[in-house]
């Protein structure tokens, strides 16, 4: 189990957490696509719409992961750039989309100039930032148009079931001190990030995440999350038994599993006062 970070100052906590995230997501660059990217893909078109991305738009994808949102932006005729903190994710994105540009950087200190992009989007990243308000301020800074964020809704089985399985197995958090992973699953907290900006929009996207087997679902958790996977690693077999029991209500009629999943997409244009 992970103990407290060596440097317990807020700054030390933040850099320990970011290093943990960068290493954890790099380790998952080869497994993220199996199922987790098939969940996050549902946010791509709604995010591009909410950010007003059209042919010719320059778009920054913050926390680009495997780069699939950038590829969808390019398919609209836009000119995307991806930025991510995990080196192996960047390599995987570049291999998957060799014609596109992916650069290393921290969402809280974006390596771009003021107003450099027509639109800036961030899918499932805000919950990974030690200073999420700073991340949003950075997105607003580098955008001359809209910014858009996607986040999981509260309590969805994809994350509730592994959490409950870890609880049942008596497993404690194993990550360095980091941000509250659930904070922005609450609608009001997500919208509060955009308070004071103009043209705020909001929509939800609902779908069933289908998995062919329990192993596929479990592999999605271990290979598509960092903090949850760290929590499960000390007793994976016991936790998996609890997970199997908890997943029973989500068995699909035709075999496999179907997890009802809701994603919230919010967007805004930078206010001239901010
Ligand atoms: C859940 S994945 C989301 C990936 C992709 N946006 C998607 O929708 O599939 C989180 C991503 O955030 C990246 N990340 C975490 N902290 C970051 C930071 N401080 N700056 C930039 N990227 C970060 C990770 O490396 C990882 O690629």
Q: Distance between CA 184 and CA 264 in Å, rounded? A: 10
Q: Whose CA is nearest to atom 5 of ligand 1?
A: 65
Tokens standing for residue 27: 């380790």
pLDDT at residue 131 in the model: 97
Q: Whose CA is nearest to atom 17 of ligand 1?
A: 85
pLDDT in tens, the chain (274 residues): 333 344 445 678 899 999 999 999 999 999 999 899 999 999 999 999 999 999 999 999 999 999 999 999 999 999 999 999 999 999 999 999 999 999 999 999 999 999 999 999 999 999 999 999 999 999 999 999 999 999 999 999 999 999 999 999 999 888 889 999 999 999 999 999 999 999 999 999 999 999 999 999 999 999 999 999 999 988 889 999 999 999 999 999 989 999 999 999 999 999 977 6
Whether 233 is covered by a domain: the verdict is: yes
Q: Whose CA is nearest to atom 12 of ligand 1?
A: 63
Contact 200, 268 (CB under 8 A): yes
Contact 78, 55 (CB under 8 A): yes
- The backbone region for 60, taken as left when phi is positive above 0, alpha when psi lies in -120 to 50, beta otherwise, is beta
State how many domains the chain has.
Answer: 1
For every residue of 60-99, DSSP letters joined together read EEES-TT-HHHHHHHHTT-EEEEEES-HHHHHHHHHHSTT
Whether 1 is covered by a domain: the verdict is: no
**Residues 6 or more apart whose Cβ sits within 8 Å of residue 141:** 110, 114, 115
Whether 160 is covered by a domain: the verdict is: yes
* H helices present in 28-86, as ranges: 36-40, 44-50, 68-75
SS3 211: strand
65 CA distance to ligand 1 middle (Å): 6
CA dihedral sign, ordered 45, 187, 132, 128: negative
Pocket test for ligand 1, best of 38, 63, 112 (most atoms within 8 A of CB): 63
For 62, the enclosing helix (H) or strand (E) is strand 58-62
Whether 73 is covered by a domain: the verdict is: yes
Strands (DSSP E) along 153-273, which ranges? Answer: 198-211, 257-269
The owner of tokens 């639109």 is 119
Tokens standing for residue 197: 């900006």
Q: Phi, psi at residue 200, to the nearest 5°?
A: -70, 130
Q: Phi, psi at residue 3, to the nearest 5°?
A: -90, -170
125 lines ligand 1 (CB under 6 A): yes
127: domain CATH number is 3.40.50.150
CA dihedral sign, ordered 145, 132, 68, 113: positive
Whether 144 is covered by a domain: the verdict is: yes
Strand-pair partners of 260: 208
* Range(s) of the domain holding residue 176: 6-269
255 CA distance to ligand 1 middle (Å): 32
Whether 235 is covered by a domain: the verdict is: yes
């Amino acid at each position: 189990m992970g103990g407290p970070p060596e440097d317990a100052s807020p700054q030390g906590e933040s850099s320990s957490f970011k290093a943990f995230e960068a290493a954890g997501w790099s380790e998952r660059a080869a497994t993220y696509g199996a199922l987790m990217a098939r969940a996050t893909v549902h946010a791509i078109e709604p995010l591009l719409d909410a950010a007003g991305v059209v042919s010719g738009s320059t778009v920054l994808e913050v926390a680009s992961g495997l780069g699939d949102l950038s590829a969808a932006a390019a398919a609209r005729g836009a000119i995307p750039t991806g930025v991510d903190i995990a080196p192996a994710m960047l390599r995987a994105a570049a291999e998957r989309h060799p014609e596109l540009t992916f650069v290393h950087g921290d969402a809280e200190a974006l390596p771009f100039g003021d107003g450099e992009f027509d639109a800036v989007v961030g899918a499932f990243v805000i919950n990974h930032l030690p200073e999420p308000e700073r991340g949003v301020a950075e997105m607003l800074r580098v955008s001359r148009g809209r910014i858009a964020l996607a986040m999981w809704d509260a309590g969805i089985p994809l994350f509730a079931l592994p959490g409950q399985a870890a609880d049942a197995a008596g497993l404690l958090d194993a990550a360095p001190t980091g941000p509250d992973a659930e904070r922005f699953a609450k609608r009001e907290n997500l919208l509060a990030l955009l308070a004071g900006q103009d043209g705020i929009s909001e929509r939800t996207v609902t779908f069933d995440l289908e998995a062919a087997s329990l192993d596929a679902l479990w592999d999605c958790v271990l290979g598509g999350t960092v903090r949850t996977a760290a929590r499960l690693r000390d007793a994976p077999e016991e936790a998996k038994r609890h997970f199997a029991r908890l997943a029973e209500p989500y068995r699909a009629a035709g075999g496999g599993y179907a997890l009802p999943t809701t994603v919230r997409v919010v967007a805004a244009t930078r206010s001239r006062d901010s």
